Chains A and B, each alone.
Chain A
Amino acid sequence: MKNFEYVRPASVSDAVAAAAVPGSAYLASGTNLLDLMKGGISRPDRLVDVTRLPGLDRIEHLADGGIRIGALVRNADLAHDPDFAKSCPAVAEALLSGASPQLRNAATVGGNLLQRTRCGYFYDTASACNKREPGTGCDARHGENRLHAVLGWSEACIATHPSDFCVPLVALDAVVEIEGRAGRREIALEALYRLPGDTPERENVLEPGDLIVALRLPPAVRTFSAHARYLKVRERTSYAFAMISAAAGLRIEAGKIRDARLALGGVAAKPWRARPAEDILAGASADAATFRRAAEAALADAKPSGDNLFKIELAKRIIVRALTLAAVGTPARMSALPGSPFASVSGVLHDA
C-alpha cells in the first residue's frame, strides 16, 4: 500500500476543505477503500477520516413521513432498526443480503453508495482497464465477462455497480444530501451515477471535496411497505455479490396494482430503475402475464456485453419472481436467507 497523509477533521466544512485537495479520499469504515489500497487500485495521497464527524450517525423520522439516514449509519444498524425495516422492508432485505455480518457492522451508508465495481479486471492491476487507467482499454470486453453488464454499457467499460442497498433505494426515489465547497445540495440517488460512455473513470457526478452527509427517503416509501421484496441470484447463497437482483414494490388495491416500483442490480454501471416496467404494472392486474410483460419491457434495451446473454432471460425471471413475491406480501419476519430465491421454510434444509 502506498503511504498517505492521515487527517481527521472535526467538522463537515473542515472535511470538505481537506478533501478538496487533489489526491485526497474520504475514509469512513474503509471496508472497500482499504481493500482497493492494499491491491494498489486506489492510491490516495491523503485520507480524510470522516468517522468522527458529529451528527451523521442518526436515523431520523421526519415530520412529513420521510426518513433521513445519516451517511455514517452502519449497514447493520439500519437493517435492524425496527421502524426502518417496517417502513422499507426491501431495503432491509437488500442490506442483509449483502456482504457478511462483520462487514455490515462496519460499512456505512455513504460508503455503500460510493463503493467501486468488483470487475476482476478493475481489481487486477496487470490488466487493461479504462476505469482504473483511462485510455488503456478494457480486458473484460473479450475476457471472463459472464457476470458483466447487459444494460447501459459501452465499448470502454462493461462493469456493473455492486451494491444491493442502492437497488431498492433507486426504486424508492432516494435522495442524497451532499455537502460541497459551494454548500449543501441534494440530488436523486439515480442521478448520482453516470453510465460509462467514453469516460468510465467518472462514475458519479460528485466534485472534489463533495461529501455525502445523508440519504433521504420520501414519505411515499410507506405506501409500498406491505408488498416489497428484494431478490438476488448469486453464485453462492451467502456472502456474494449479485449476478442479478431485483427490488420490487407494489401498491395493490382491490386486486389491481395502483403503483409499482422496480429496479435491477448486477445489470449496469448503476442501479437500474425500470420505469417502462412500472408503467405497464400501474393499473394492471397482479398476475403472471402482467409480470412477464413488465419484465420484457424492463430488459427491452438489454444486449450482452460478452458471454452473458443468459443474464437477460435470468433478469426477466427474477423480475417475475420478485413481483410475484411482492404481490403475495412482505413476510412478517425477514427470510432466514435474505434475498435468496432458494430461501425455504425457516429451519428446513433448502437442498433437501
Chain B
Amino acid sequence: MNLSISLTVNGVRRDVELSDPRVTLLDLLRERLDLTGTKKGCDRGQCGACTVLVDGRRINSCLALAISHDGAGILTIEGVARGDQLHPVQAAFIAHDGFQCGFCTPGQIMSAIGLIEEAQAGDDPERIRECMSGNLCRCGAYAGITEAVLDAQQSLATANQRRSA
C-alpha cells in the first residue's frame, strides 16, 4: 500500500511519505514536520501532553496512526496564535499561572481549546476539572489551569458576542 499521506497542519498542506505504517500522528508532527510543541509524555494515552485537534476535535496524537488520518486537518500549539497575538487560552494560562515547568502546557492548552468548543462544561469549575481530566500536570498547576479555562471561555464568548452584534 502507498504510504504517502496529505495533511493540513495549522492551515498549511503537508505531503508526507511515511517510511513505515507504525508512525503515530505525534511522531509525524515532531520528527517529520519539526513541530515539537506537541509533547511526548507517556506515549500511551494517559497524560494528554500530546493533545492536538484533529478536524476540530481534541484527541491523543500518540494513539493515532498517521496513515489512518490521511486528509485530516490538524491544529497544534504552533498554530493557535496569530503572529504575536496569543490565543485567548494561551493568554489566560499566563495570566492565571496555569503552569510551572511547562511540559504539559501545549497539551493543556489544546485540550482547553477543544473543551471550550465542545461547550459541555458551562461556567462550573467542577465540570471544567472533569473535562480537563485527560491532561496531567505533575507540577500541580491545576488551580490556575481551571481559572485560566474559565477566564478564556468567558473572553471568547464575549468576543463572539461582539462579533455577532
Contact = CB atoms under 8 A, between A and B. Distances in A.
Category for how many chain A residues contact B? 35 or more
Interface residues of B, number: 36
B47 to A, nearest CB: 10
Interface string B28-53: 00000000000000011100100100
Interface in A151-183: none
**Which of A8, A34, A106 has the most chain B CB within a 10 Å cutoff?**
A34
Contact of A34 (B57, B63, B129): B63
B130 A103 contact: no
Given A30-B64, A31-B45, A106-B59, A4 B134 contact: no
A232 to B, nearest CB: 13
B102 interface: no
Contacts of A205: none
A105 interface: yes
Interface in B114-132: 114-115, 118, 120, 124-127, 129-132
B24 interface: yes
Interface in A93-151: 99-103, 105-106
Contacts of B63: 29-31, 34-35, 103, 106
B114 A101 contact: yes
Interface in A316-347: 336-338, 346-347
B75 interface: no
A242 interface: no
Contacts of A310: none
B84 interface: no
A101 B134 contact: yes
Given A38-B43, A106-B60, A101 B131 contact: yes
Contacts of A42: none
Contacts of A30: 63-65, 68
B46 to A, nearest CB: 8
A6 B21 contact: yes
A338 B127 CA distance: 10
B58 A105 contact: yes
B4 interface: no
B127 A102 contact: no
A47 B67 CA distance: 11
Given A30-B68, A34-B63, A101-B58, A3 B125 contact: no
B100 interface: no
B20 A3 contact: yes
Nearest to B62: A34
Given A7-B1, A35-B63, A102-B48, A51 B68 contact: yes
A49 to B, nearest CB: 5
A27 B64 CA distance: 10
Interface string A1-15: 101111110000000
A336 B130 contact: yes
A199 interface: no
Contacts of A27: 65, 68
Nearest to A345: B126
B138 to A, nearest CB: 15
Contacts of B111: 101-102
A80 interface: yes
B124 A347 contact: yes
A238 B43 contact: no
Contacts of A47: 21, 65
B120 A346 contact: no
B13 interface: no
Nearest to A347: B124
Contact of A5 (B1, B44, B129): B1
A80 B114 CA distance: 15
Given A35-B63, A106-B63, A239 B134 contact: yes
Contact of B45 (A4, A51, A103, A346): A103
A54 B104 CA distance: 37
Contact of B133 (A106, A239, A346): A239
15 contacts: A3-B20, A4-B21, A6-B21, A7-B1, A27-B68, A34-B63, A47-B21, A99-B134, A100-B48, A101-B58, A101-B115, A101-B132, A336-B124, A338-B130, A346-B126
User: Closest 6 A-B residue pairs measured CB to CB?
Assistant: A100-B134, A238-B133, A6-B21, A336-B126, A239-B133, A105-B57
